[in-house]
Structure 1
Amino acid sequence: MKLISHEPATGDLIWEGESGDAAEEVAKARASWAEWAARSFTYRAETLRRFVNVVRSKEQDFADLIAREAGKPFWEAKTEVGAVIGKVDISTNAWSDRTGNKKLEAAMGNKVSVRHKPHGVLAVLGPYNFPAHLPNGHIVPALLAGNAVVFKPSEKTPASGQFLVDCYHEAGVPEGVIRCLQGGPEVGKALASDPGIDGLLFTGSAHVGKILHQHFADTPQKILAIEAGGNNPLVAWDMKDIHAAAAIIVQSAYLSAGQRCTCARRLIVSEEGHERILDEVLRLIDRIIVDHPHADPQPFMGPLIDNASADKVQDQYMNLMMKGGTPIRRLDRPYEERPYLTPALIDVTNVRDRPDEEIFGPVLQLIRVRDFDEAIREANNTRFGLAASVLTREPKNYNKFWANVRAGVINWNKPTNGAPSTAPFGGVGISGNHRPSAYYAADYCAYPVTSVEAELCRANIGQGLRDPNMIED
């Protein structure tokens, strides 16, 4: 089956190829992983440092490809490639910190050794919004641990995924150890179901995450790490610097055209006195440049990934309006044939049965509440639990927010989408399955083995045996 990728900004063809065979790719990885696992950690780390050098030498070309295929501004695509480059050093440190070898003293001169083994062959399903950085966040720690990887890029960004894997091969990672499996949802299902994989590492929607969780229920021997989306709250309450707060709100809601799992979806403000912050946010919204990735001046937002995604966001926005939402800035589509959307803000305070869903686009919902306790209740009014942030001058407000809000990322006077790679990243609720990625990815890429060790056999049984003198011949 032929797979085709078009630039969302122009509709131009960017890549075409054939869908792969999951069983064949898993078999190749299975045949190669033992030799890779037998290599020392130092060898694997040095090989991945060569990968860094390869990516750095192709930085501009890689960023250009990501910008064109994912539709994100070129400046943002460059930061993504930078994250790919930085991942190896971070993951090397994480391996030593989280899964390094340990020797402990035990009784009678024995030793207790704790070491880690790779699982074997791990499948990685990547998303389209960060087609290099997010799957690479699984791939690097998996390879460092000694696993082989079969990576299926999103069918919406196959060229970026292939480019990433080609960089690994050029750096000297054996071709059988990192495989690129192209294809759509059916190929992804085949990969997840293949008996030859020892686990699956997923980044994507909560809906697909739930399906995978159910699918893996009968195979508890296989590792499953899920990083899904969020219906993320941003509480703006008693800020000192209104201008800075407005910038944080706009960045949280509209960065990557709202196509980040950590984007703010709900802005929660006080019923009384919210007009000032709202005016500042609207001024910034009206200045946002929406244009193609290489436009001059550089845009803040590019298009969504494709027309189907833009259609879905428009439908979700219209549903909020039909339920009683009041548009403050409308969601417009400047070009009917292309997936550009303008940043939207809609007051949903009086909407009954407000949908608890992730609107994966530039739509921010305004919710007015009476007091800070109600703001916290509203923040928790979701099945998701990925990211949350509070903007306030009062440390006591932040402390109360942190203690009571359920999320894996909780920020203070920072955007919801500011999560460092040097810390764990993951959510609760339906936003994940308690296997955070980023710095903690080392935890699910290897399993611990505990060994009690002694150089000589020394043992006796002191209880429960008959006296040898009392045994009759």
Structure 2
Amino acid sequence: MATDIISTEPATGATLWRGSASDVEVEVELARGAWAEWAARPLAVRVEMLRRFVNVVRGRAEDLADTISRETGKPLWEAKAEIESVIAKVDISISAYNERTAQRRIDGAVGTRTALRHKPHGVLAVLGPYNFPMHLANGHIVPALLAGNAIVFKPSEKTPLSGIKLVECYHAAGIPGALVRIVIGGPAEGKALAASEGIDGLLFTGSANTGLILNRQFADKPNKILALEMGGNNPIIVWDAPDAYTAAVLVAQSAFLSAGQRCTAARRLIVKDGAHEPLIAELRKLLARLIVAEPHSSPAPFMGPVIDNEAADGLQESFLALLMKGGRPVVQMERPIENRPFLSPSIIDVTDVRDRPDIELFGPMLQMIRVSDFDAALAEANNTRFGLSASLIGGSPELYDRFWANSRAGIVNWNKPTNGASSSAPFGGIGLSGNHRPSAYYAADYCAYPVVSTEEENPRASIGIGLRQD
């Protein structure tokens, strides 16, 4: 009997959508039957289809943003920005395809040509997250379709309706229904999709624990592409910042946008011991002003709830556990509405906490660490198995050069937040943050593989050495 999947609005607890889990192998077989014809179509046709997809998304933008907002709890203004990213992805992917995977001629011997072309893998599975349920999945799907692949997409079980509506946009644009399939379900369906013999690769955005499981699962399948984006335990260093208020704004944006539910969110604030009080004073005042409310509220909130009560409970337990190990509350975490997953932005000083857990606490919770000098700040920034994003606020150009050279991260910023990465650049990290398959602009690299051909119209051959004389 099929299992019901229920989507609940985090802000209200109301049921938004209910449906049955999919048959994974049926969806994979449909995609496998459609991909060869799609791959054989001229690139210009695939481009045109994706431009039609953009027009469909534009026409449905209000409804799509409303769905994201209700299903994730993020403010409506942020959901609208996500739809803009979905739209922009097509032009970015076309540019990336032309730059990174276009056909090329390579100089060869006289009378011989060497050609570089790229082929699609076949059927690619996409496992999407709940924090950006359309944008991050779309970031895999668009370049994969452009390269000639078929797609089987499983959205997070926490945001199935957003995934359904995204796929409906592809179909409404004239992209064959069998080419882009959706799998509705929970962990069991995700495992079945990853294990399916009918897929030629898997593109994943989500937690490090799930990514590690997938990495082990694909270890004996070198014939299948695996791209992992697994989040971060990201540091933000504030050092000799000339303006404490501006530094506080950058810290708050880094740590608390999307209720801290961004893989690039700052998790650890590293400051100079004894010189951090002005920054903390400004942060306290600023966080007291941030509006935490339902996504459609007026005035517009800065952030909404986290995804569900289970996530909120876990974050509160983590805050309490750090307090019991010696942490000191700088800004207390509050749960303003009982049985709803709203959390206030919080900061905890964990300088004196031994054996701090190196995990991604996915929510509005920032750990502060005081250090004596910049060498210690660099060491603390790198004191993690992750390596996605890092930022320095303040300091001189020379100090930033040291920070950039010594930071173990795929995104290294100066006087900018840790989050808000551009889709026109590669996006990815090292360590537990990824497997050296950066997405965004570099997604073209894992959506097709290079084929090198040495070609000559007429066969000619001779052996000039190593033969016995007649």
- TM-score when normalising by structure 1: 0.98
Asked whether 1:146 is paired with 2:148, we answer yes
State the AA in 1 paired with 2:325. Answer: K
SS of 2:466 mapped into structure 1: coil
Match of 2:254 in 1: 252
Q: Deviations over 1:418-462 (max 9, x none)?
A: 210000000100110000000000000000000001111111111
Q: 2:100 aligns with which of 98, 102, 105?
A: 98
* In structure 2, C-alpha distance between the alignment counterparts of 1:358 and 1:185, rounded to whole Å: 20
Match of 2:345 in 1: 343
* In structure 2, C-alpha distance between the alignment counterparts of 1:114 and 1:312, rounded to whole Å: 50
Match of 2:369 in 1: 367
Q: Structure 1 residue 322: deviation in Å? A: 1.0
* In structure 2, C-alpha distance between the alignment counterparts of 1:467 and 1:42, rounded to whole Å: 56
Asked whether 1:120 is paired with 2:122, we answer yes
Asked whether 1:334 is paired with 2:365, we answer no
Match of 1:426 in 2: 428
Match of 2:70 in 1: 68
Q: 1:412 aligns with which of 402, 407, 414?
A: 414
SS of 2:218 mapped into structure 1: helix
* In structure 2, C-alpha distance between the alignment counterparts of 1:276 and 1:327, rounded to whole Å: 17
Match of 1:454 in 2: 456
* In structure 2, C-alpha distance between the alignment counterparts of 1:318 and 1:358, rounded to whole Å: 16
Q: Deviations over 1:399-420 (max 9, x none)?
A: 0000001000000000000210
Match of 1:357 in 2: 359
SS of 2:246 mapped into structure 1: helix
Q: Structure 1 residue 393: deviation in Å? A: 3.7
SS of 1:384 mapped into structure 2: coil
State the AA in 2 paired with 1:84. Answer: V
Q: How does 1:212-223 map to 2 (within 5 A)?
A: 212-223=214-225
Q: Structure 1 residue 237: deviation in Å? A: 0.4
Q: Structure 1 residue 359: deviation in Å? A: 0.4
Q: Structure 1 residue 390: deviation in Å? A: 0.4
Q: How does 1:32-431 map to 2 (within 5 A)?
A: 32-431=34-433
* In structure 1, C-alpha distance between the alignment counterparts of 2:419 and 2:189, rounded to whole Å: 31
Asked whether 1:466 is paired with 2:468, we answer yes
* In structure 2, C-alpha distance between the alignment counterparts of 1:313 and 1:242, rounded to whole Å: 28
State the AA in 2 paired with 1:37. Answer: A
SS of 2:18 mapped into structure 1: strand
Q: CA RMSD in A?
A: 0.7
Match of 1:19 in 2: 21
Q: Deviations over 1:146-189 (max 9, x none)?
A: 00000000000000000000000000110011001100000000
SS of 2:219 mapped into structure 1: helix
Structure 2 unaligned residues grouped into runs of 5+: none
Moved over 4 A (4+): none
State the AA in 2 paired with 1:410. Answer: V
Q: Deviations over 1:173-230 (max 9, x none)?
A: 1001100110000000000000000000000001100000000011110000000110
* In structure 1, C-alpha distance between the alignment counterparts of 2:30 and 2:172, rounded to whole Å: 18
* In structure 2, C-alpha distance between the alignment counterparts of 1:421 and 1:245, rounded to whole Å: 25
State the AA in 1 paired with 2:57. Answer: V
Alignment size in residue pairs? 468
State the AA in 1 paired with 2:284. Answer: L
* In structure 2, C-alpha distance between the alignment counterparts of 1:33 and 1:264, rounded to whole Å: 40
State the AA in 1 paired with 2:281. Answer: D
Q: Structure 1 residue 315: deviation in Å? A: 1.3
* In structure 1, C-alpha distance between the alignment counterparts of 2:298 and 2:209, rounded to whole Å: 38
Q: Structure 1 residue 240: deviation in Å? A: 2.0
State the AA in 2 paired with 1:310. Answer: A
Which has the higher mean CA deviation after the structures are superposed, 216-225 or 274-283? 274-283
Match of 1:471 in 2: none
Q: Structure 1 residue 108: deviation in Å? A: 2.4
* In structure 2, C-alpha distance between the alignment counterparts of 1:152 and 1:433, rounded to whole Å: 21
SS of 1:262 mapped into structure 2: coil
* In structure 2, C-alpha distance between the alignment counterparts of 1:90 and 1:241, rounded to whole Å: 36
Q: Structure 1 residue 17: deviation in Å? A: 0.8
Fraction of identical pairs, as percent: 62
State the AA in 1 paired with 2:374. Answer: F
SS of 1:272 mapped into structure 2: coil
* In structure 2, C-alpha distance between the alignment counterparts of 1:449 and 1:377, rounded to whole Å: 43
Q: Deviations over 1:243-264 (max 9, x none)?
A: 2211100000000000000000
State the AA in 1 paired with 2:137. Answer: P
SS of 1:109 mapped into structure 2: coil
* In structure 1, C-alpha distance between the alignment counterparts of 2:76 and 2:214, rounded to whole Å: 33
* In structure 1, C-alpha distance between the alignment counterparts of 2:431 and 2:195, rounded to whole Å: 25
- TM-score when normalising by structure 2: 0.99
Q: Deviations over 1:346-385 (max 9, x none)?
A: 0000001111111000000010000001000000000000
* In structure 2, C-alpha distance between the alignment counterparts of 1:98 and 1:281, rounded to whole Å: 43
Which has the higher mean CA deviation after the structures are superposed, 37-46 or 310-319? 310-319
Structure 1 unaligned residues grouped into runs of 5+: 469-473
SS of 1:324 mapped into structure 2: coil
* In structure 2, C-alpha distance between the alignment counterparts of 1:335 and 1:392, rounded to whole Å: 37
State the AA in 2 paired with 1:377. Answer: A
Q: Structure 1 residue 105: deviation in Å? A: 1.8
* In structure 1, C-alpha distance between the alignment counterparts of 2:355 and 2:92, rounded to whole Å: 43
SS of 1:137 mapped into structure 2: helix
Q: Structure 1 residue 319: deviation in Å? A: 1.2
State the AA in 1 paired with 2:251. Answer: I
SS of 1:143 mapped into structure 2: helix
State the AA in 2 paired with 1:268. Answer: I
Which has the higher mean CA deviation after the structures are superposed, 168-177 or 313-322? 313-322
Q: Deviations over 1:46-88 (max 9, x none)?
A: 1000000000001111000100000000000000000000000
State the AA in 1 paired with 2:146. Answer: L
* In structure 2, C-alpha distance between the alignment counterparts of 1:41 and 1:247, rounded to whole Å: 45
State the AA in 2 paired with 1:119. Answer: H
SS of 1:268 mapped into structure 2: strand
